[in-house]
Chains A and B, each alone.
Chain A
Amino acid sequence: NAGVTQTPKFQVLKTGQSMTLQCAQDMNHNSMYWYRQDPGMGLRLIYYSASEGTTDKGEVPNGYNVSRLNKREFSLRLESAAPSQTSVYFCASSERDRAYEQYFGPGTRLTVT
């Protein structure tokens, strides 16, 4: 079992460029999440998907879009990257009724110049 995987591990973008962060889980979890982690800010929820076919905004959704491609995969897209989106991005998954027990991917370190 790979658990939760994310690609890429590192990315540098110029302002205005777009990119998609990929996430996949092999634990048959219904719920998936995207967080960003900034120094001193903890983990902030961007979007989540409680089940296949549904997505909802979290605390900081502006500037991002998501796609729940199937039960395994949940992608995060930056349409026009800004320096304020420089961060470490974590994907996570959980069983639907155990959202307090989230399993995280290794993270993607994104720098926007």
Chain B
Amino acid sequence: GENVEQHPSTLSVQEGDSAVIKCTYSDSASNYFPWYKQELGKRPQLIIDIRSNVGEKKDQRIAVTLNKTAKHFSLHITETQPEDSAVYFCAPGGNQFYFGTGTSLTVIP
């Protein structure tokens, strides 16, 4: 199966700053690279995904970049707000998807 690692495991930023979370994976056959957000006590929800033939995708304040050669992809959040505080999971895969261990992001007002 896929070996997925996320860094950092915790991240604190001041409101308005940017946050970057990196996900590395091992399976070169992975061709979808989603990010999920889980607020405290809630269910995970997909926030953005990228496919293997695309290097970067942006949706308002969030973006994902992919480096298939190096087998990593990153979540970028700009102009962070307190409501961005949550745990973020990457889940690379193709037929099956393997979740990383999560990054707890705290945005300090």
Interface residues, chain A, with chain B CB atoms under 8 Å away: 35, 40-45, 48, 58-59, 90, 99-102, 104-107
Contacts and interface: CB of A to CB of B under 8 A. Distances in A.
A90 B49 contact: no
Q: Which are the 5 A-B pairs with shortest beta-carbon distances?
A: A100-B32, A104-B43, A43-B99, A42-B101, A42-B99
Nearest to A50: B95
Q: Is the interface of B mostly helix, strand, loop or mixed?
A: loop
Interface string B41-70: 011111001000000000000000000000
Contacts of A99: 32, 93, 95-97
Contact of A42 (B43, B46, B93, B102): B102
A41 B45 CA distance: 17
Contacts of A105: 43
Interface residues of B, number: 21
9 contacts: A40-B101, A41-B101, A45-B97, A90-B44, A100-B32, A100-B49, A102-B97, A104-B44, A106-B42
B89 interface: yes
A26 to B, nearest CB: 16
Given A100-B32, A100-B91, A59 B98 contact: yes
Contacts of B98: 45, 59
B67 to A, nearest CB: 18
Contacts of B33: 100
Contact of B45 (A42, A45, A48, A104): A104
Interface string B68-109: 000000000000000000000101010111111110000000
A101 B89 contact: no
A106 B39 CA distance: 12
Nearest to A100: B32
